Amino acid sequence: MRRRNPLEKTSDGEVEGYKFNKNRKGKLKIRWGGMLEIYYSVAPINMPDGQTCGHIIVFTDISKLVEKQKQIEYLSFHDDLTGLYNRHYFKDALKRLDTERMLPFTILVLDINNLKKINDDFGHSEGDNLIKLAADFLRSNFRQEDIIARIGGDEFCVLLPNTSAAVAASIKQRLLKKAGRHKTAKCTLSLSIGYAVKQDSAESIDLTLTQADNAMYKHKEKQKTEAQRSDLKFAPGSSHHKAETHNLP
C-alpha cells in the first residue's frame, strides 16, 4: 500500500492538513534542537497542463511575537510585585470554580497588619519587601494548584475548593503560628485572617467572599484590642508594671 504524502493534494483542493495560501500557526522542529513557532502557508506548483508537480511551503518565524504575547498574557493575570495572581484572574477563577462539585468551597482572606504605618515609618520599599515576604510565605504554605491572589494593596485571597470549615480553621491557626517567624530586615510579618465556607449550591459565592472579608476584619479588630490590653498591662503605673518593677534586682 502506497504511503500517502502529507502534502498530497486532496479532492477538495487542499493539501492534507493544510489549506492553500492560508496562513496557519504551527511549530517547526529545527535541526540543532528545539522548536520554532511559525506561520506557514502552502501553495501548489502547477504545470502548464494544469497538473500539480509539487508544493511551495512558506514559513515565517514568529517565536519572538509568541513570547511577547505570552508575557502580555502573564502580566494581565499576575501581580507584577509578587508574581501571584491578580484581582482580575481571581474574579474569573471564583466564577469558574463556583460549581457544586467544588463544595464545600472555602475562601480565605488575609491582610498584612500595620502596612500603612510601616510605609510611613520605613518607606514604601520596606512595605513592598513585606508584601513580597507575605506572598512567598503563602506560596510555601499552599499547594501549587491552589489559587493565591493579591487582590489589594495589603490583601490576599486563597480559593480552597472541597475544603470544610474545620480544615479552614486548622489552616488559619497554622498560618498565624508560622507568620511571626518570617521577617524582613526591619519588620515581622503579622496577618489578620478570615474565612467563610460555601456549603450549598444555592448560596451566593459573592456573599461567601463578603463573609470571609468581614471575618478577616473582625480578626483584625480582635488583635488590635488584645494589643491595646497588652500595652495597658505593661504601662507605667499599672499593677503588673509595679509588680515587675518590685521584682527587679
Range from 44-53, 121-130, 222-231 that averages highest in pLDDT: 121-130
Is the same domain home to 153 and 92?
A: yes
Grade residue 109 by pLDDT with cuts at 50, 70 and 90.
very high
Sheet holding 52-61, edge to edge: 24-29, 35-46, 52-61
Instruction: Identify the pLDDT of residue 236.
Output: 54
pLDDT tens by residue, 223-240: 998 888 776 555 555 444
pLDDT tens by residue, 80-98: 999 999 999 999 999 999 9
The tally of domains found in the chain comes to 2
Tell me the residue length of the chain.
249
Is the same domain home to 86 and 133?
A: yes
pTM: 0.73
Range from 8-17, 31-40, 95-104, 225-234 that averages highest in pLDDT: 95-104
Burial 185-222 (b: 16+ CB within 10 A, else e): eebebbbbbbbbbbeeeebebeebbebbbebbeebbee
Q: Which domain holds residue 66?
A: 1-70
pLDDT at 159 over 50: yes
Is the same domain home to 115 and 17?
A: no
Is the same domain home to 47 and 100?
A: no
Residue 48 lies in a domain: yes
Is the same domain home to 142 and 228?
A: yes
Is the same domain home to 90 and 157?
A: yes
Is the same domain home to 193 and 147?
A: yes
21 φψ region: left (φ > 0), alpha (ψ -120 to 50), beta (else): left
